[in-house]
Structure 1
Amino acid sequence: MPTTPDQKLWARTRQAVHAEVARTAMSLFLERGFEATTIDDIAAAAGISRRSFFRYFGTKEDIVLGDLAARGELIRKELEARPATEDAWTALLNALRHTPRPGQDDATTLQISKMLYGTPSLRARSLEKHLQWQALLTPEIRRRLGVAPDDEHDLRADAIVACVLTCLDVAGEAWTRSDGSQSLEDLVLTAVAAVRGSAADA
């Protein structure tokens, strides 16, 4: 059934309000701290009711991490587009490297990263989102390895995706500790090389 002009207008309005509430909340988080900012604070600053807030976000954590789900889809598409000549590890790393990042300056990214790694509830939600990424990315890695989709005993694809995502998380934490002075990409590659080297030595 075709979308009507009124439905399109409503969707654009909803997206605009969603983005405005997110911007307002992030500003408060960076100014006051994530845990010190309440949902009521966000609603008041955004000029909406508490009830309206929950029409756009399920939790405060979703404001910070909500776009991770969408980013996972972008990474999946990039992974599927990688050349067939790339092995599973290389294709996955290149997909992560070439997927566009949020349009934030380095200083803001570092602030958000410090908030993420310093807040247990955000950390837990971040790991939960990475599990969603794993579900999205594993089928393509299985295909590249020649593993049948219904083969429950071949764990190589699951292990590779889990390792790379863990390396990404470890590298992100190290990048944050260094105040962004190190290259995040180099840290990810170093972490992955350590895992692969350990596996080869075993």
Structure 2
Amino acid sequence: MSIAPGATGDVVTQAIRLLAAQGYHATTVDQLAQATGVSRATFFRKYGSKEDIVFADHASNLERLEQLLNRPGLTPQAGLAEGVQLVFRHNLDYADRAVARHHLLQDVESLRDRELATSHRYERLFQGFLRGALPENADQRVTAVSLASATVAVHNAYLRTWLRDPQANNGEQLAAGLNQRIGWLCTAFGLSPGAGRLASVPRQPEAAASASPVVVVLQEGADPREAAEQTARSVYEALVTARGQSRLRSETNTA
């Protein structure tokens, strides 16, 4: 069940704070209803369950993101950049709520699972958008799936960096850095920044022959969110290193 951000005196933030302060399992629906100023029946009808109210604004964000991505003529890079900014800046705008939820999730495994499922919903929206925005070719589906997944992983990494210490980590600077990283990500996937289309890159037999796969080793049973961040970071570092080596070889050959 969705609640518009900031609705009813921001009772969503009040409820999340209560759950974080008293403990998720120790807090009853009656206590939440009293804190939000409604009866138990009204609470269920208006807000849903305890779990629903923790993630209430995600439903609204998903609707807004879907509307954004449905804009005609939106290029892949513009859609991804504007999409992640929409979600990231929502958290900055409702910082108290975002930080309270972050602390609550650290202690409740079921809520972390719900958050992971919500991330998949964002991925599916980006996938659907990219499948329509990318040119039709044999790699279209793979590019859409992998780029959407990488986009959400990068966003989540920046968001968690801010959530760990909002006072020390400037939100506006992170938002700018996130925008730049999405631009780099699109370039790494062969998207032209101007037209937002898959760039036509001429084949380079020598470079192709010397290319090496990127292997990421993850510990069995690792937290899925941390694993996604580690994978994105490892791929990024490997691609940056490979690009530097390729540039060095090119400069050496032309010297």
* CA 1:62–1:153: 2 relative to 1, 3 Å: same
Task: Give the corresponding residue for 1:42.
Answer: 32
In the alignment, the residues of structure 2 paired with residue 103 and residue 180 of structure 1 have an alpha-carbon distance, to the nearest angstrom, of 12
CA offsets per residue over residues 26-52 of structure 1, 9 Å max, x none?
A: 352354343432223213443413x54
In the alignment, the residues of structure 2 paired with residue 53 and residue 104 of structure 1 have an alpha-carbon distance, to the nearest angstrom, of 25
Report the CA distance between 1:118 and its aligned residue.
4.5
Matched ranges for 1:101-180 at <5 A = 101=90, 104=93, 106-147=95-136, 154-180=141-167
Q: Which moved more, 1:173-182 or 1:121-130?
A: 173-182
Matched ranges for 1:8-27 at <5 A = 19=8, 22=12, 24-27=14-17
* CA 1:175–1:90: 2 relative to 1, 3 Å: same
Note if contact 2:47-2:53 (Cα within 8 Å) is conserved in structure 1: yes
* CA 1:180–1:187: 2 relative to 1, 3 Å: farther
In the alignment, the residues of structure 1 paired with residue 53 and residue 146 of structure 2 have an alpha-carbon distance, to the nearest angstrom, of 30
Structure 2 length-normalised TM: 0.56
CA offsets per residue over residues 63-101 of structure 1, 9 Å max, x none?
A: 0212212211211222333864x4x34530222214662
In the alignment, the residues of structure 1 paired with residue 16 and residue 165 of structure 2 have an alpha-carbon distance, to the nearest angstrom, of 23
In the alignment, the residues of structure 2 paired with residue 80 and residue 180 of structure 1 have an alpha-carbon distance, to the nearest angstrom, of 35
* CA 1:120–1:73: 2 relative to 1, 3 Å: same
Structure number with greater Rg is 2
Report the CA distance between 1:186 and its aligned residue.
4.6
Structure 1 length-normalised TM: 0.67
Q: For structure 2, which runs of at least 5 residues remain unmatched after alignment?
A: 185-232, 244-255
- The SS at the match of 2:26 is coil
55, 62, 72: which one pairs with 1:65?
Answer: 55
- Structure 1 vs Structure 2 CA RMSD: 3.7
In the alignment, the residues of structure 1 paired with residue 98 and residue 13 of structure 2 have an alpha-carbon distance, to the nearest angstrom, of 14
List, as ranges, runs of 4+ consecutive aligned residues in structure 1 with deviation greater than 6 Å.
none
**Percentage of pairs with the same residue:** 21
82, 85, 108: which one pairs with 1:97?
Answer: 85
Task: Give the corresponding residue for 1:29.
Answer: 19
Note if contact 1:69-1:132 (Cα within 8 Å) is conserved in structure 2: no
- The SS at the match of 2:124 is helix
Structure 2 counterpart of 1:96, which letter?
V
